[in-house]
Structure 1
Amino acid sequence: MAADWTWLERGWRRAVQTARLMIGVPDYDTYVAHMRQHHPEREVMSYARFFDERLQARYRGGGGRCC
Structure 2
Amino acid sequence: MNTLFSTLRRTARLMVGMPDYDTYVRHMAEHHPDREIMTRTQFFRDRQEARYGGKNGGRCC
**Shorter-chain TM band:** 0.7 to 0.9
> TM-score, normalised on structure 1?
0.72
Higher helix share: 1
**Counterpart residue identity of residue 13, structure 2:** R
Partner SS, residue 49 of structure 1: helix
Residue in 2 aligned with 1:63?
A: 59
Mind listing any 5+ residue stretches in structure 2 that lack a counterpart? none
Q: Which has more radius of gyration?
A: 1
> TM-score, normalised on structure 2?
0.77
CA RMSD of superposed structures (Å): 1.7
Q: Which runs of 4+ in 1 moved over 6 A?
A: none
Please give the per-residue CA displacement for 1:37-58, whole angstroms capped at 9, x wherever unaligned: 1111211100111111111111
Post-superposition offset of 1:64: 5.8
Residue in 2 aligned with 1:41?
A: 34
Mind listing any 5+ residue stretches in structure 1 that lack a counterpart? 1-7
Tell me how far apart the structure 2 counterparts of residues 64 and 35 of structure 1 sit (CA, whole Å): 31
Give the paired residue count: 58
